[in-house]
Amino acid sequence: MADKYSELGREIYANIGGPNNVKSMYHCMTRLRIKIRDNSKVDIQGLKDIDGVLGLVNADTLEIVLGSGVNAKVAQDMVSQVGVKENEEFPTSTYQSEKSEVQAKAAEVHAQHKAQLKQTWWRKALGHISAIFIPLIPAFIGAGLISGVAGILRNMLTAKMLPGSWNLGVTILSMIASALFAYLNIYVGINTAKEFGATPALGGIIGGVVLLPGIAAPVTIPNVLDGKPLAAGQGGIIGVLLAVWLLSYVEKWFHKHIPDSVDIIFTPFFTVLIMGLFTVFAIMPIAGWISNSLVGGINWVLDVGGPVAGFILGLFFLPMVMLGLHQILTPIHLSMIQKMGYTPLLPILAMAGAGQVGAAIALWAKCRKNKDLVRLIKGALPVGILGVGEPLIYGVTLPLGRPFITACVGGGIGGAVVAAFGHVGSIAIGPSGVALIPLIANNMWWAYCIGLLSAYAGGFVATYFWGCS
């Protein structure tokens, strides 16, 4: 099997200008994300024609959809060929020797790049968010599932279905799960600093500052916006992202202006001091207002819009995934989890993947004589049921056109059903589909399951009768 992944990696290299044209790469849930040095050397059509490539998102970071599991093995093989690790910068010696060739195309490339910047600055922001949170996804899944198991056992204890001796075990499980969420700001601070070229430890400090360590009643810090005591964690993830992004500029400024002989002493001192004070007295109040507004606004939309809002969210989430725009929702999900204990958005948006499952089953039933299509569906359907939707998007529904639209309709139907029940939320983020069931809060797993079945049925019926030409 290793030869299969090595060959796929070699074909990808051949169509992106070789390892010398790669700045860095890493894998996420289903995609290989590559930062390209010279986009003019990338053969987009050649990449699409590679057997095993399910789709592409050609943005500031080239995203190659390979499917869950495959992407990790291909990424590992590709970085091993070069002698680096994922997310590490690739060697530049050969690339620099070709500098004259690049310069010969400078005018053309510069014009293309300038035009691209006007259209895709928001893609760069999404790329940064993706790079910050994707390394944390295994932790979200692991801690979230442990928290879900602890919740189920706690409910069984309350219902006296388990002996009281299980209390200690449940407490320990909850403690293990809390290790991530209690210090999530610090993890995000470290990753944000890495992404923007700052010192990771300094980013971690600012993430910790947001938690207001050492501040205990009766001591309080006033919120400059309303005069009320500042709450530990106020502003949450949004505040950490903003603070550490600004820290990266402050640290770089000091590195540039402080003499090398004392840089190691004064740069971290002034950076942490300035950004620590600015975080407490400016960023936390402002980010807290933004976070409260976002969470309150989303809850208001769901409360007022009900099934209609759920249908619209479920309908349009697949196109967001296709374009990579779903990454922008990660900080919002985490802010809702920090404030409410769960995110009501995720179960609704998860219905989009369920609509695809229903659409794929309909295609299997209607087009069973098409052996190639059936083979693709058989490969993509199991992971689709578990909530990883890209293989179905890029391998099955999107290439066929109309089934992609009917799959979206199925997602909208499921979203409407989940929103109609209300208060269906997830205590963590990660894969959706069936895999999300243990993470559903407030014992509302049954409502989520009904939503899944509705999305399956909606996607099936819409595709069977209107999605097949």
Average pLDDT of 354-381?
88
**pLDDT tens-digit readout, 287-334:** 999 888 988 898 898 988 999 999 999 999 988 877 666 777 888 888
Which runs of E-coded beta strand occur in 177-335?
none
At residue 136, does pLDDT exceed 50? Answer: yes
Residue 229 β-bridge partners: 222
Which residue did the predictor score with more confidence, 453 or 123?
Answer: 453
CA–CA gap between residue 4 and residue 74 (Å, rounded): 9
Closest Cα to residue 239, out of 196, 206, 190?
206
**Helix (H) / strand (E) containing 27:** strand 22-27
What is the SS3 assignment for 333? helix
**pLDDT tens-digit readout, 141-169:** 788 888 888 888 887 888 788 888 899 99
- The mean predicted confidence, pLDDT, of the chain is 85
Calculate helix-pair angle for 184-195, 236-257, nearest 10 degrees.
Answer: 40
Question: Is residue 28 annotated as a catalytic residue, yes or no?
Answer: yes
**Helix (H) / strand (E) containing 58:** strand 55-58
Cis link prior to 218 (omega < 30° from 0)? yes
Residue 58 β-bridge partners: 62
At residue 115, does pLDDT exceed 60? Answer: no
At residue 182, does pLDDT exceed 70? Answer: yes
pLDDT, residue 100, reads 40
Which residue did the predictor score with more confidence, 117 or 425?
Answer: 425
pLDDT, residue 178, reads 86
pLDDT, residue 94, reads 46
> pLDDT category, 228, cuts 50, 70, 90?
confident
CA–CA gap between residue 223 and residue 219 (Å, rounded): 13
Residue of 28, 367, 408, 468 with catalytic role: 28
> pLDDT category, 123, cuts 50, 70, 90?
low
- Residue 69 CB partners (closer than 8 Å, separation 6+): none
At residue 122, does pLDDT exceed 70? Answer: no
In a 13 Å sphere around the CA of 323, the CA atoms on its Cβ side amount to 12
CB 398 within 8 A of CB 48: no
Residue at 271: amino acid letter: T
pLDDT, residue 189, reads 95
**pLDDT tens-digit readout, 432-465:** 888 888 889 888 999 999 999 999 999 999 999 9
Domain positions in the chain:
2-104, 137-290, 341-467
Residue at 82: amino acid letter: V
CA–CA gap between residue 267 and residue 250 (Å, rounded): 9
Average pLDDT of 335-347?
91
What is the SS3 assignment for 224? coil
Closest Cα to residue 356, out of 330, 395, 327, 329?
395
| Alpha-helix runs per DSSP H in 199-278 | 200-209, 236-257, 260-278
pLDDT, residue 84, reads 85
CA 464 to chain CA mean position, Å = 32
Share of the chain above pLDDT 70, in %: 92
pLDDT, residue 51, reads 86
Q: 214-218, 340-344, 441-445, 457-461 — which one is most confidently predicted on average?
A: 457-461
The dotted CATH code for 2-104 is 3.30.1360.60
Q: In the structure encoding, which two tokens stand for residue 124, read together? A: 């760069």
CA–CA gap between residue 115 and residue 429 (Å, rounded): 35
Average pLDDT of 28-50?
88
**pLDDT tens-digit readout, 404-436:** 999 999 999 999 999 999 889 998 887 788 888
pLDDT, residue 81, reads 85
Residue bearing tokens 């995934």? 321
Closest Cα to residue 177, out of 157, 153, 160, 161?
153
**pLDDT tens-digit readout, 58-86:** 877 898 988 877 888 898 889 988 888 88
Query: How buried is 227 (Cβ within 10 angstroms: 0-12 exposed, 13-18 middle, 19+ buried)?
Result: exposed
pLDDT, residue 93, reads 56
**Helix (H) / strand (E) containing 32:** strand 31-36
What is the SS3 assignment for 31? strand
pLDDT, residue 421, reads 94
pLDDT, residue 357, reads 94
pLDDT, residue 412, reads 96
What phi and psi values does residue 65 have, to the nearest 5 degrees? -85, 120
CB 271 within 8 A of CB 247: yes
Q: In the structure encoding, which two tokens stand for residue 20, read together? A: 């010398």
Neighbours of 317 (CB within 10 A): 27
**pLDDT tens-digit readout, 241-272:** 999 999 999 999 999 899 888 888 999 999 99
Residue bearing tokens 């893609």? 123
Task: Determine the Cα angle at 385 with ends 379 and 390, to 5°.
Answer: 65
Pairing label, strands 22-27, 31-36: antiparallel
| Phi and psi based region of residue 320 (left: phi greater than 0; alpha: psi -120 to 50; beta: remaining) | alpha
pLDDT, residue 102, reads 40
